[in-house]
Amino acid sequence: MVKISDYHYIGKFMFDTFRNRLELTGTLWTITALRISAGRSHEPIGSDLPVIKDALGCPLIPGSSFKGALRSRLESFVRGIVGSDRKLVANPAIEEEWSLRSTEMRQLRENYTDDSTLTAAILAQTDLISHLFGSPWLASKFQVRDLTVLPEYWFGQYQERDGVAIDRDTETAADGKLYDFQVVPAGTPFEFKAIVENAEEWELGLLMIGLHQFETEQIPLGGGRSRGLGVVQLKIDQMRWFDYPEDEPQYLLEYLKKLALGDDSAYEDAQDFKDYWVEQLIDYLHKK
């Protein structure tokens, strides 16, 4: 059994100093109907399987759903490149396939007593995906807000679809197994906002590849994907980037001043760095 104390560790050496920030904003459009279920309803009327809604009754895409689909796709890519070595690409669903098991974590904490060397040892044994998306022992650098529907495009119209369980013997509808489920119609836009802080250049390259998959409709969301539901397209409107040399803190002071004054010149357009970040990822994978 995994104990919380085995993984209750965040290296101060790594996370106490602000180094860089990437802000992403855009719109996620449903190309086909979308079903992210809130679970079976026990209401006397309405859909058997309603979609997740916010407090105002509007559809909602949890940030965890977006992030999980993105992480899964990137894991499959990295696994295809470096193989199934858990030290390079782990399975977050099974503790035995993590890059750092609880016994290994305890051993590291016994061998390294100061914070900086322990942090370095943990990072050296952390799989590639967890560097960006986090793990039980490492905070995530990539944060995605819940995606809320754009109110000017939403008129409160859900669609109801019928479903039925098939009897495997007769290959016909099983008795009493008819149900209905709710979907968000195609053409519905959701607001997308995400932040990445203190990321390495190769980690940003990894993120760029994953986001491109969403931009080209390659990553579906929600349930019913085998029947064509959940096809989405991400359109990124802004990628704002700030980075400063560690030995020149005046750049950080200027950045903070501009933020306080609402000056957008505090950021650079990150579109100019996408190709460079992807190249850094490729070089990093070659070394691995």
Structural domain boundaries of the chain? 4-287
The secondary structure element, H or E, covering residue 66 is: helix 63-82
pLDDT band at 119 (very low <50, low <70, confident <90, very high): confident
pLDDT band at 48 (very low <50, low <70, confident <90, very high): low
Confidence at residue 2, expressed as pLDDT on a 0 to 100 scale: 45
47 pLDDT higher than 70: no
Q: Report the alpha-carbon distance of residue 209 to residue 211 in Å, rounded.
A: 6
**What is the average pLDDT across 9-34?**
81
CA dihedral sign of residues 10, 14, 15, 16: positive
| CA angle, residues 249, 253, 254, in degrees to nearest 5 | 115
82 pLDDT higher than 80: yes
**What is the average pLDDT across 272-284?**
96
**What is the average pLDDT across 100-112?**
90
Q: How far is CA 249 from the centre of its chain?
A: 31
pLDDT band at 26 (very low <50, low <70, confident <90, very high): very high
13 pLDDT higher than 60: no
Q: What is the pLDDT of residues 135-189, one digit of tens each?
A: 988 899 999 999 999 999 988 888 776 655 555 555 555 555 665 678 899 999 9
DSSP result, 192-248 = EEEEEES--HHHHHHHHHHHHHHHTT-S--SS-GGGTTT-EEEEEEEEEEEE--TT-
Higher pLDDT, 226 or 26: 26
- Looking at every residue in the chain, the average pLDDT score rounds to 85
Percentage of residues in the chain having pLDDT higher than 90: 57
pLDDT band at 191 (very low <50, low <70, confident <90, very high): very high
